[in-house]
């Protein structure tokens, strides 16, 4: 839709008292899935417990016809359609969620991948086999009708099948897919990974970046940029240099999106540093959380609402939707209305990009392009200098998000150690300083996992929730140390996480997106929706730890871990008894 068209449409919305877009463009061009009176009325009627349900429905007829009939209905009711009539309209013109997808069993799935032989503990070996089975449940393929009639769907067409996170998330997600791919490669499913990679590369060619997820309402925001790392892991497993050569320029295009659209300059000590942030300058509520965003905006003056909605989208782009990381420094750091994501320069985003620059340099060297290899090496050197100057804190021994209005945010987040995980640090002693930082922050006293933060705001990326990717950032970061003590702490943190996952799986026969470390490691809570099971990146992370430490990890009886601030990890007696051969 041309800019003038949607601006004209906004005049209509303003006349209806729906000043939802302000001066910013909508999240996508669809007047059904991204903005407009139909979306507003249906979502504000709260016909479904989860706003995502409506925008994931497909149309039973052409969108122009649906909009015309809705316009007639709205006129007949003076633009205040009764709930019952809205419900009937949706039932008549929309189809149930998921009909555009079909289950898919990966053709390269194997019953007994070699990974299982690495696992010494018999119970963990059986469990790993069950995790391997879950890939078949999470496989999806998009039906051809989405390609032939894309206007009837919010789903973005991808030609290759893929693995989804699970639960309400029945489409692909960008950063989730990295940990999914790591697990798939350990399950010897390289062809599935190649197909998922190709889907992402196709999206970059079409849109210039990878959307947050596989729906049109996600188009204007991305997620943590891990595509280059995905390619690196695939090539390391397969040595498929031809695939790398064919797609190296597309990898460069994706990184360029972050350079052009998400770079910000900071002046400090007489020098200028370029780093990156999450920033989504698009207006209106998030379509998949429309009523929540609209209700939250009602607590603010009208002129502040578009800024709020843009910051919420930036928080979603970060993958941490939502967290005190984006609230601290605002007028009320416990309220989501204080969100200010774009005002922060995040440690993890810049570490991911630093790692990508190193990988691109290596890729180009391998392909014989020395000029491009040197270019990316230089970009990495500049970013390392900026990380050290702006984000590193020598006294605390960690990196911290840089608040452009208030300086460093010195709160604890596992993301503070991402440069270790990404290999973007210059001094080997930084790893052992990070261990002291964890001790000083009392993080090693938590026996069920590393919390997302130490603030309990009710948001899902805060205390008491622990998430699989955040465990990875810390565990693999510490494992880079040459110190046996630091390496041992990495192992013990891995033992904690595996026992939490194993315990819950033994009780519920499911893996979850997050776990509550204050509640015995049970499935987590908070945020905008119920905890989801599945779960792609949790499966992948568990398999990664079982691969790395499988000869040592245990599911056994009570285990005391010898680390600073002694950790005690125990599985419940009823679980242990359940394994006995009665």
Is 90 exceeded by the pLDDT of residue 183? yes
218 token code pair = 């996600």
Alpha-carbon distances of 468 from 215, 288, 320, 512, 515, rounded to whole Å: 24, 24, 13, 9, 9
Banded pLDDT at 556 (limits 50, 70, 90): low
- Average confidence (pLDDT) over 102-122: 97
Burial class, 15, CB count within 10 angstroms (exposed 0-12 / middle 13-18 / buried 19+):
exposed
Flag whether pLDDT at 478 surpasses 80: yes
pLDDT of residue 529: 87
Residue 23: predicted pLDDT: 77
d(C-alpha 551, C-alpha 154), whole Å: 45
For the chain, percent of residues with pLDDT exceeding 70: 92
Give the length of the chain: 582
**pLDDT confidence of 519, banded at 50, 70, 90?**
confident
Q: Of the listed 56, 321, 472, 533, which one is catalytic?
A: 321
SS3 (DSSP) at 160: coil
Residue 516: its H or E element: strand 514-516
Task: Tell me what percent of the chain is helix, strand and coil, each rounded to the nearest 5.
Answer: 50, 10, 40
For the stretch 12-70, pLDDT in tens is 333 333 444 447 999 999 999 999 999 999 999 999 999 999 999 999 999 999 999 99
Catalytic residue chosen out of the listed positions 513, 516, 533, 547: 513
Terminal CA-to-CA distance of the chain, rounded, Å?
67
Is-cis flag, bond preceding 464, omega within 30? yes
Answer whether the bond into residue 485 is a cis peptide, omega within 30°: no
39-63 burial: b if 16+ Cβ within 10 Å, else e: bbbbbbbebbeebbebbbbbbeeeb
pLDDT tens sequence across 483-503 = 999 999 999 999 999 999 999
DSSP 380: H
Q: Percent of the chain, pLDDT > 90? A: 88
Query: Does 321 qualify as catalytic in the annotation?
Result: yes
Tokens of 205: 């060619």
Domain segments of the chain as ranges: 3-45+58-95+279-317, 103-261, 427-582
> Other C-beta atoms within 10 Å of 262: how many?
21
pLDDT at 11 over 60: no
Q: Write down the pLDDT at residue 444.
A: 97
Q: CB of 478 within 8 A of CB of 435? A: yes
Q: Which residue has better confidence, 163 or 575?
A: 163
What per-residue confidence (pLDDT) applies to 565? Answer: 35
CB 411 within 8 A of CB 324: yes
Average pLDDT value for residue range 441-466: 97
Residue 581 reports pLDDT greater than 50: no
Nearest in space to 533 (alpha carbons), one of 523, 542, 541, 525: 523
7 pLDDT exceeds 50? Answer: no
Residue 337 has pLDDT above 70, yes or no: yes
What value does the mean pLDDT of the chain take?
92
Name the pTM for this structure: 0.92
Q: Is 513 a known active-site residue?
A: yes
Yes or no: say if 336 and 296 are a contact pair by the CB < 8 Å rule.
yes
553, pLDDT greater than 50: yes
């Amino acid at each position: 839709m041309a800019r003038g068209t949607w601006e004209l449409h906004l005049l209509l919305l303003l006349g209806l008292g729906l000043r939802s877009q302000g001066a910013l463009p909508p999240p996508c061009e669809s007047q059904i899935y991204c903005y407009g009176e139909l979306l507003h009325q249906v979502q504000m009627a709260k016909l479904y417990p989860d706003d995502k349900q409506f925008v994931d429905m497909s149309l039973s007829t052409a969108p122009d016809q649906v909009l015309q009939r809705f316009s007639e209905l709205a006129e007949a009711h003076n633009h205040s359609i009764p709930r019952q009539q809205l419900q009937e309209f949706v039932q008549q013109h929309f189809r149930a969620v998921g009909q555009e997808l079909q289950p898919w069993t990966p053709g390269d799935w194997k019953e007994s991948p070699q990974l299982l032989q690495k696992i010494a503990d018999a119970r963990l070996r059986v469990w790993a086999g069950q995790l391997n089975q879950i890939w078949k449940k999470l496989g999806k393929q998009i039906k051809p009708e989405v390609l032939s009639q894309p206007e009837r769907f919010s789903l973005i067409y991808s030609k290759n099948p893929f693995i989804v996170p699970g639960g309400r998330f029945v489409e692909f997600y960008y950063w989730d897919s990295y940990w999914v791919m790591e697990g798939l490669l350990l399950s010897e499913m390289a062809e599935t990974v190649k197909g998922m990679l190709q889907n992402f590369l196709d999206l970059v060619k079409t849109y210039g970046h990878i959307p947050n997820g596989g729906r049109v309402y996600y188009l204007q925001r991305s997620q943590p940029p891990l595509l280059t790392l995905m390619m690196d892991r695939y090539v390391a497993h397969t040595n498929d240099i031809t695939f790398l050569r064919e797609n190296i320029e597309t990898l460069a295009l994706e990184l360029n999106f972050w350079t052009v659209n998400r770079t910000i300059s900071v002046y400090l000590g007489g020098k200028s540093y370029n780093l990156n942030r999450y920033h989504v300058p698009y207006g209106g509520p998030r379509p998949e959380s429309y009523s929540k965003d609209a209700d939250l905006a009602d607590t603010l003056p009208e002129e502040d609402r578009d800024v709020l909605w843009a910051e919420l989208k930036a928080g979603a782009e970060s993958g941490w939707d939502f967290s005190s990381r984006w609230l601290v420094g605002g007028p009320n750091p416990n309220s989501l209305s204080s969100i200010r994501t774009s005002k922060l320069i995040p440690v993890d985003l810049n570490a991911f990009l630093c790692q990508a620059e190193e990988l691109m340099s290596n890729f180009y060297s391998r392909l014989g392009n020395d000029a491009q290899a040197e270019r990316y090496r230089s970009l990495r050197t500049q970013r390392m200098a900026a990380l050290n100057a702006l984000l590193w804190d020598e006294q605390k021994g960690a990196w911290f998000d840089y608040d452009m209005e208030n300086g460093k945010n010195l709160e604890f987040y596992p993301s503070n150690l991402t440069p270790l995980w990404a290999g973007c640090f210059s001094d080997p002693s930084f790893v052992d300083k990070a261990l002291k930082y964890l001790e000083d922050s009392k993080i090693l006293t938590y026996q069920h996992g590393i919390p997302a933060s130490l603030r309990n705001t009710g948001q899902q990326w805060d205390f008491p929730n622990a998430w699989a990717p955040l465990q990875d950032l810390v565990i693999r970061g510490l494992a880079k140390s040459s110190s046996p003590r630091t390496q041992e702490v990495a192992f013990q943190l891995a033992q904690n996480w595996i026992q939490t996952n194993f315990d819950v799986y033994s009780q519920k026969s499911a893996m979850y997106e997050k776990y509550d470390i204050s509640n015995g490691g049970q499935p987590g809570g908070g945020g905008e929706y119920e905890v989801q099971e599945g779960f792609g990146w949790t499966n992948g992370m568990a398999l990664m730890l079982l691969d790395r430490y499988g000869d040592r990890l245990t599911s056994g009886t009570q285990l005391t871990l010898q680390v600073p601030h002694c950790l005690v990890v125990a599985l419940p007696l009823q679980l242990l008894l359940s394994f006995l051969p009665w």
